[in-house]
Amino acid sequence: MRFLNLTRRVEIGANCYSLETAGKRIVLDCGMHPRLEGTEGLPEIEALEDDSVDAILLSHAHQDHIGSIPVLMRRQSRAPLFATDATRQIGDVMLHNSVNVMMRMREEKGIASYPMFTHREVEGVIKRCQPVPLRQRWSFDGERLGAREEAPLSFEFFDAGHILGSAGVLIRSEGRSFFYTGDVNFTDQTIARGARFPEEPLDVLLMETTRGDSPLPAGFSRACEEARFGEAIRQALERGGAVLIPVFALGKTQELLAMFASMQARGVLPPGVPVYIGGLSTKLTELYDKLACQSPRQHPELPLLEAVAPFVVGGPDLDSLPIKGGRIYAFTSGMMTENTLSNIFASRFISDPANSLFFVGYADPASPGGVIRTGQPGDLIQLDSRRPAQKRECALDVFDFSAHASRESIRAWVNQVKPKKIVLSHGDPAAIDWFRDTLSTDLPGSEVIVPTPGEAVEL
Ligand SMILES: [Zn+2]
Ligand SMILES: [Zn+2]
């Protein structure tokens, strides 16, 4: 097996990997960098000759895993694309939204390479995408294989518990196994249930390391964190302030809505508390509701939009949206990236000490969200490079509802499946270092590899 890391740096960026095995070249994911703009945000797909890829597999529909797929498929016109049905449907919404965002950025910032693909190309990608159910063996020609059927090369998706549709993929090639985790979470979230990954020994593992640099605090439990979060919102609203929660449109918004429904049912939050979300979040929540009974999740009987009845805010309405006490604003992006609802709204929000800003997920340390959450009250915050910095006077707290597995839970699973070779990816350098040191000690017979971007590794 020959492996090539096509992500440009050791980081959580534009995830993309190539695997050559049994005479085929397979590409796993093709994301776009959440922070870098223009062609800098693409993976190194020019390292693959045109029309040299035999198949493309997608782990899930977050931007850092699918964002550059139309660019890759333009160059790899004969490669079929495989994903779970939920990833295909969510990907449809995410990629069309991405075209709109790029067109706006071309206008506002003059980025000449935007949009990198068109709505028509997205339609082509979705047409070429073959939905594949979890826990079934498939050939790369798109044929379903029997459980015991001999095949030199096959793949199988396993529920990754990260967001709706997320999957790890097991590639069986000439008697060896290669497993790619994608983004994984082993514990139950409010909506997503914990991953169901293979439990038998693996030959090669390509794994995410997102949380490698942060141990779980002693005594941490999701239930306690949710109770702390509910209490913080209740107090903030009772004080007469408003609450802003920067969230990802996909995954975290739906987790949050499910938590709000439960908090209202238990009397933690007043019934009918006004919740505001963006248009993309609403479209994705509609898909969560539509696919509730077809995909593994908790509370399939809970229609999120009906239970919380959020108000939908479009980009043009944002400037005139009043900030009123007693309301919850859950806007994208989770990292408060420039030109997003949460960033624009924050410019009118963070200097008022009556308000509360709550973070509930990952933020790149260099993003506005990453900077503000590690700072102090009174810090000057540069939300937008075109506007002056402003003081953060609002209350701030950080809650851990990560959709990524704790390093402890990944470590336990890796010790169970004992891969002979472990390839570390999807993590900042400190996170990768922890996993390299820990897994090398846990499994002295295994080789732990940090693949240099652009350099092929024989596995
Ligand atoms: Zn993800
Ligand atoms: Zn990711």
CATH of domain 222-398: 3.40.50.10890
- CA 62 to centroid of ligand 1, rounded, Å: 5
Q: Sign (positive/negative) of CA torsion 116, 331, 295, 33?
A: positive
The CATH fold assigned to 2-214+403-458 is Metallo-beta-lactamase; Chain A (3.60.15)
Which residues make Cβ contacts (< 8 Å) with residue 19, sequence separation at least 6? 1, 2, 3, 4, 25, 26, 27, 28, 171, 178
pTM: 0.94
* Residue 225 token pair: 């964190």
Q: Which residues of the chain have pLDDT under 70?
A: none
Separation of first and last alpha carbons in the chain: 5
Confidence at residue 363, expressed as pLDDT on a 0 to 100 scale: 85
- CA 62 to centroid of ligand 2, rounded, Å: 6
Confidence at residue 414, expressed as pLDDT on a 0 to 100 scale: 98
Beta bridge partners of 158: 168
Confidence at residue 35, expressed as pLDDT on a 0 to 100 scale: 81
Q: Which amino acid is at 132?
A: V
- CA 33 to centroid of ligand 2, rounded, Å: 10
Q: How many Cβ atoms sit within 10 Å of the Cβ of residue 140?
A: 20
User: Where are the domain boundaries for CATH 3.60.15.10 in the chain?
Assistant: 2-214+403-458
Cβ atoms of 205 and 423 closer than 8 Å: yes
Confidence at residue 10, expressed as pLDDT on a 0 to 100 scale: 87
Ligand with minimal distance to 160 CA: 1
* Residue 104 token pair: 């706006």
Cβ atoms of 269 and 234 closer than 8 Å: yes
- CA 195 to centroid of ligand 1, rounded, Å: 13
HSE-up (13 A, CA, CB side) for residue 394: 27
Q: Is the bond preceding residue 356 a cis peptide, omega within 30 degrees?
A: no
* Alpha-helical runs (H) found in 299-423: 304-308, 341-346, 368-373, 407-417
271: burial class by Cβ within 10 Å (0-12, 13-18, 19+)? exposed
Ligand with minimal distance to 210 CA: 2
Cβ atoms of 334 and 248 closer than 8 Å: yes
Total residues found in the chain within this entry: 459
Confidence at residue 147, expressed as pLDDT on a 0 to 100 scale: 81
Q: Which amino acid is at 90?
A: I
**Residue 430, CA distances (Å) to 11, 52, 65, 392, 424 in order:** 10, 34, 21, 29, 12
Ligand with minimal distance to 62 CA: 1
* Alpha-helical runs (H) found in 51-155: 63-66, 69-75, 85-109, 119-128
- CA 426 to centroid of ligand 2, rounded, Å: 7
- CA 450 to centroid of ligand 1, rounded, Å: 20
Confidence at residue 188, expressed as pLDDT on a 0 to 100 scale: 94
- CA 263 to centroid of ligand 1, rounded, Å: 26
Query: Which residues hold their Cβ within 5 A of ligand 2, which is an ion?
Result: 64, 183
- CA 12 to centroid of ligand 2, rounded, Å: 7
Ligand with minimal distance to 402 CA: 1
Ligand with minimal distance to 185 CA: 1
- CA 269 to centroid of ligand 2, rounded, Å: 32
- CA 183 to centroid of ligand 1, rounded, Å: 5
